Amino acid sequence: MDLLEYQGKQFFAGFGIPVSPGEAVTTVDDAVAAAERIGYPVVIKAQVHVGGRGKAGGVKLAANADEVREHAGNILGLDIKGHVVKTIWVEFASDIAEEYYASFTLDRAAKKHLGMLSAQGGVEIEAVAETDPDAIAKIWIDPVDGLSEEACRAWVSAAKLNPDATEGAVDILLKLYRAYVDGDADLCEINPLILKPTGEVHALDAKVTLDGNAEFRHEGWDVYDATQVRDEREQAAHDKGLQYVGLDGSVGVIANGAGLAMSTVDIVNQVGGSPANFLDIGGGANAEVMAGALEVINNDPNVKSIFINIFGGITKGDEVANGIVTALGRVQIDAPIVIRIDGTNAAEGRAILADHESEKLQSKPTMIEAAKTAVELAK
């Protein structure tokens, strides 16, 4: 779950990390009122879940109310890579002496936490990694030990920040590690982490991805869930508790299991089609779940055919077939459906479907045949 910048800053502030005073607003008038409270100069920043805001005109400096009015008016409603700006963050503009980069994430290969710190901040860290990998100081942290002040100090020293920044950086990084671990984040990134001319160190940006699996132990994460950007299809699937990813094609895909769903998307592509989505209905595949999945797919105007790909394991093929038939009785489906059932009791399942076969409902014995038929029907 990705946080917007202002949410990330509020998250950081909760762990004592210094951020600029600011307010999130959704109208020009509120932006002006916020700026008046904060004091000039202010920065007006578009709150969207994509990078490259500055280049797109989504970050502007304002020295007075008129400038706030002008910039806020331009930024609200701005389309940044398909994300329309609905919220802007107005914060006090900081003087910057130097810009650094800091982050914590999980290194899956090492199975340890990885901290990265660089004196070259304010730019894409991937670019730094490519052109000057030695400019990034890395520290691998055993989750059992955590990050000690001593290790943190050595790490900051290795990053060769301005010596004036040492104390402030150590303090922020220790807090950032706590935010990352105790806050159940997958990623906590500050870019840029700034040194002010007055010597303080400060988080000027915040990029935070929270681990949705940890929601049960955090109050108030539903606020973040509400600002996630999902297209209509994704929102409908999310509301039904389905694992859904929207794609651009015309073949609706339903499968049981994440791996099989991914594989189904691949096969549709391989036989020359283009999938409309990834949808994993999980292991159960009863009539209710199937009906919900079909509804989500059916509401996608791009869908011209539907490919249901089920492997019966614990869930028997005949149970799945009965679920599909029941679901079809409950949901009016416009696009033709191709079903492949394999695995336990597949023959019984196919026999059940055979009784309901029509131009709108066909059963094929293999994944590839079913994919080809579905792709043909989508043309």
Partner 1 sequence: MAIFVDENTKVLYQGLTGSQGRFYGLRNRDYGTQVVAGVNPKKAGTDVDGIPVYATVAEAKEATGATVSCVFIPAPGVKAAVLEAAEAGMELVVVITEGVPAQDEAYFFNKVKRDYPNTRILGPNCPGIISPGKANIGITAGEIAKAGGPVGIVSRSGTLTYQALYELKLQDIGVTTCVGIGGDPVPGTSFIDCLEAFEADPETKAVMLIGEIGGSAEEEAAEFIKNKMTKPVSAYIAGVTAPPGKKMGHAGAIVSGGKGTAAAKMEALEAAGVKVGQNPTEAGELMVEIVRSLGL
**Residue from 259, 272, 329, 365 that binds partner 1 (CB under 8 A)?**
259
Q: How far apart are CA 249 and CA 371, in angstroms?
A: 14
Q: How far is the CB of 113 from partner 1 (least distance, A)?
A: 7
226/230 Cα distance (integer angstroms): 10
Site size toward partner 1 (CB under 8 A) is 49
Q: How far is the CB of 338 from partner 1 (least distance, A)?
A: 16
Nearest-approach distance from CB 6 to partner 1, in angstroms: 21
166-182 and 149-158 helices, crossing angle to 10°: 120
CB of 184 to partner 1, least distance (A): 6
Dihedral angle, C-alpha 42, 47, 50, 51, nearest 10 ° = 10
Other Cβ atoms closer than 10 A to 195? 23
Q: Is 232 in the site for partner 1 (CB under 8 A)?
A: no
Decide if residue 214 touches partner 1 (CB under 8 A).
Answer: yes
Q: How far apart are the first and last CA of the chain?
A: 36
Q: Is 222 in the site for partner 1 (CB under 8 A)?
A: no
Among 42, 68, 128, 247, binds partner 1 (CB under 8 A): 247
Does position 126 interact with partner 1 (CB under 8 A)? The reply is: yes
Interface stretch with partner 1, choices 52-60, 158-166, 307-315, 329-337 (CB under 8 A): 307-315
Instruction: Return the C-alpha torsion angle 208, 212, 216, 219, nearest 10.
Output: 30
**278 contacts partner 1 (rule: CB under 8 A):** yes
Residue recorded with tokens 């578009």: 46
Kindly state the smallest distance separating residue 238's Cβ from partner 1, in Å. Answer: 13
Helix or strand holding residue 234 (H, E): helix 232-239
> Which of 261, 291, 303, 361 contacts partner 1 by CB under 8 A?
261
Among 343, 348, 356, 360, binds partner 1 (CB under 8 A): 343
CB atoms within 10 A of CB 156: 24
Whichever of 34 and 237 has its CB closer to partner 1, that residue is: 237
Q: For residue 84, what are its two tokens? A: 């329309």
Residue 224 annotated to the active site: no
Nearer to partner 1, 275 or 336 (CB): 275
- CA distance linking residue 102 with residue 137, whole number of Å: 10
CB atoms inside a 10 Å sphere around CB 43? 20
Q: Is 189 a catalytic residue?
A: yes
Span 358-377, contacts to partner 1 by CB under 8 A: 366-368
Between 109 and 226, CB nearer to partner 1: 109
What backbone phi and psi angles, to 5 degrees, belong to 309?
-120, 105
- When computed from its CA atoms, the radius of gyration of the chain, rounded to whole angstroms, is 26
- Candidate segments 154-162, 219-227, 269-277, 291-299, binder of partner 1 by CB under 8 A: 269-277
| Coil, strand or helix at 364 | coil
Task: Name residue 299's amino acid.
Answer: N
Check binding of 184 to partner 1 (CB under 8 A). Answer: yes
Sheet holding 22-25, edge to edge: 22-25, 88-92, 42-46, 59-62
Would you count residue 344 as binding partner 1 (CB under 8 A)?
yes
Instruction: Assess 255 for contact with partner 1 (CB under 8 A).
Output: yes
Between 123 and 260, whose beta carbon lies closer to partner 1? 260
Residues 6+ positions from 92 with CB-CB distance below 8 Å: 20, 21, 22, 38, 39, 41, 42, 43
**3-state DSSP call for residue 259?**
helix
Longest dimension (CA), the chain: 79
Identified catalytic residue from 5, 91, 99, 189: 189
Whichever of 32 and 265 has its CB closer to partner 1, that residue is 265
Is the Cβ of residue 93 or residue 181 nearer to partner 1 in the bound state?
Answer: 181
Residue 260 sits in the site that holds partner 1 (CB under 8 A): yes
Q: Which one, of 99, 117, 115, lies nearest residue 177 by Cα?
A: 115
Binder of partner 1 out of 55, 95, 109, 226 (CB under 8 A): 109
Q: Which residues bind to partner 1, rule: CB under 8 A?
A: 106, 108-109, 111-113, 126, 142-144, 181, 184, 186, 211, 213-214, 216-217, 243, 245, 247, 255-263, 265-267, 269-270, 275, 278, 280, 283, 311-314, 342-344, 366-368
- List the catalytic residues: 101, 189
